[in-house]
Structure 1
Amino acid sequence: MSTPTDQARNAALSAYAGMWADAAVAGRTADWKDSVLTHHATDQALAELVRILYREQAQGLVSGGAPVTHPQVAQVSPGAAPTAAMIEDCADTSTAPEIDPRTGRPPAGAAAGGRRLIRARVAEADLVWRVTDLAIFAIGSCS
């Protein structure tokens, strides 16, 4: 039988994975208004995803995939009945390049992507777990 801590860890990891899956769907067209983004993200995390997609759309680019993630739950709180979790990830973004939708290729001079540290806070509200805070660090910020 799983403990409340195990359940919180699993729910947090599921919400985190769902957020990236949703971002990949919206990223195919760089649709920063896509309501799918709200399924697993809210607050600052949602704003960060919207900002990224808005910038891509303004530059005439789309996402060419999804990052390969390796999330680990670093902490859950409060102790007895967790409703929040902190996740740390060393994600590989080389699998999700920004591409020109007309050519299917990254624009000339575009960064190739790479491994980067991602920190996320995931919280439960009204029995739904969503990513609330998201910090995406520079390429090379994790090994």
Structure 2
Amino acid sequence: MQIFHSTATALVILIAVAACSPPDSGTSAGPGEPVSVDASLLPEASSPPPDPAGEAGRLATDAYRGMWLSFADAATTSDWQSPKLGEFATGTALNTLTRGLYGDRYKGVVSRGRPVLNPAVSSAEPVGAPTRIIVTDCGDSTNWTRHYADSGQPADDEPDGRRHIDAIVEKQADGTWKVVEFGVQEVGTC
């Protein structure tokens, strides 16, 4: 019986050692050599929790940029009925944009170039899960100019340059973010 007990003990030790050893990949790792581990056996790394305020700020500034770039595109022909304007603006903001383009169409004025934008979130309400973001910008209209479509002559004597802009961007019922109101200051205000 003593031999059976010794054989059984040796078998248990052999199984324990085999269970703790890496799977055989055809070569054995010696002392100090790296051992490959099957990554599927490791626990998955958890991603950081979502940041609702940061995501809301990104979506709000994207809507702000989208509004101005859609406006610049529509202004090349003074298309006051461009459907793209409504993708990024609503309410007073959309009304201001369409009225401006309608007036330019009536006068035969078009725009060339695009504004340079540098928006940043200045406040978010409510703090934990924002639905209203105030975006502040120092927009540059230096290379975004207005001209008469027929002659190409400048349409106004107003200077172009850097202007302070504040915009209110709100989350809509469908989950999109749109500019609802904005104010543009005089050249040189930022």
Could you tell me the TM-score, scaled by structure 2's length? 0.70
Count of aligned pairs between the two proteins: 141
1:120 equivalenced with 2:162 (yes/no): no
Q: Please name the residue that 1:102 is paired with.
A: 150
Q: What SS does structure 1 have at the residue aligned with 2:71?
A: helix
Q: 2-side partners of 1:49 and 1:70: how far apart?
A: 20
Q: Report the 3-state secondary structure (helix = DSSP H, G, I; strand = E; otherwise coil) of the residue aligned with 1:88.
A: strand
Task: Give the counterpart letter for 2:115 in structure 1.
Answer: P
Q: Which has the higher contact order (CA 8 A, sep 6+)?
A: 1
Asked whether 1:58 is paired with 2:81, we answer no
1:70 maps to which residue? 118
2 CA distance for matches of 1:137 and 1:50? 19
- Deviation for aligned residue 1:95: 1.5
The answer as to 2:86 corresponding to 1:34 is: no
8 Å Cα contact 1:100/1:106 also seen in 2:
yes
Cα separation, 2, equivalents of 1:58 and 1:102: 13
1:81 maps to 2:164? no
Map Cα deviations across residues 53-108 of structure 1 (whole Å, 9 max, x no partner).
1222222111112211111110011111111100111111121110122344424x
Unaligned runs of 5+ in 2: 1-47
**SS at 1:63's partner residue?**
strand
Q: Which has the higher strand share?
A: 1
- Percent identity, aligned pairs only, is 35
Aligned-partner Cα distance in 2 for 1:61–1:13: 28
Are the aligned partners of 2:140 and 2:161 in contact in 1 as well (CA < 8 Å)?
yes
What is residue 48 of structure 1 aligned with on the other side? Answer: 96
1:97/1:112 contact within 8 Å kept = no
The residue aligned with 1:6 is: 54
Provide the aligned C-alpha RMSD in A: 1.4
Question: Which stretches in structure 1 are left out of the alignment for 5+ residues?
Answer: none
Which piece of structure 1 moves more, 54-63 or 15-24?
Answer: 54-63
Structure 1 stretch displaced more, 57-66 or 113-122: 57-66
Q: What is the TM-score of this pair, normalised by structure 1?
A: 0.91
